[in-house]
Amino acid sequence: MDIQKILDDLDLIEQVITDYPAGRRKGLTDDETEKAAGGAVTKAINALEELQEQNEVLADTVNMLSPLLMGNRELKEKQIPHPPEFKVHPKYPNLGIFHYCKCGVMFPGWGNPRAETNYCGNCGQKLKGESE
């Protein structure tokens, strides 16, 4: 819904044709019906302008928070232990089989408890669980 387009179109209304019989069915006098009909357009314009302002503030807030939320999701995913994969790196096949993190960092001493680390120093990925 394009609020600005609706507001632009509402500006084209010069007069409101009052439906007096509808007002009488609601128990209003003709004067009350005329005031209500005339005020309804003004109220609608004011409400739409307020909604447009609120939408702009909300959009700014979402744009500001989006990177933070995405970064938070990535951090949570890195806290799930993912042991290095034992494989031949496609870029360096002559090195043979070694343990590699998801980011490509090699851990040549993996398997030796003194050389193992809990996190990748390059990307921060958790490599070992609590019991490992």
Task: State which residues form the domain around 109.
Answer: 79-132
Percent of all residues in the chain with a pLDDT value above 90, rounded to a whole number:
12
Q: Are residues 8 and 45 in the same domain?
A: yes
Q: Are residues 8 and 42 in the same domain?
A: yes
Residue 45 has pLDDT above 70, yes or no: yes
What per-residue confidence (pLDDT) applies to 32? 93
CA distances from 116 to 54, 57, 64, 99, 101 (A): 53, 49, 39, 11, 12
Residues in the chain: 132
What per-residue confidence (pLDDT) applies to 19? 92
Ranges 4-18, 41-55, 65-79, 83-97: which has the least confidence: 65-79
* pLDDT class of 9 with cuts at 50, 70, 90: confident
Helices (H) and strands (E) in the chain — how many of each?
Answer: 3, 3
Q: Are residues 98 and 50 in the same domain?
A: no
What per-residue confidence (pLDDT) applies to 23? 92
Q: Are residues 19 and 64 in the same domain?
A: yes
Residue 26 has pLDDT above 80, yes or no: yes
Q: Are residues 66 and 87 in the same domain?
A: no
Percent of all residues in the chain with a pLDDT value above 70, rounded to a whole number:
93
What backbone phi and psi angles, to 5 degrees, belong to 33? -65, -45
Question: Which structure tokens are listed for 71?
Answer: 């970064």
Highest averaged pLDDT of the listed ranges 26-30, 53-57, 62-66, 84-88: 26-30
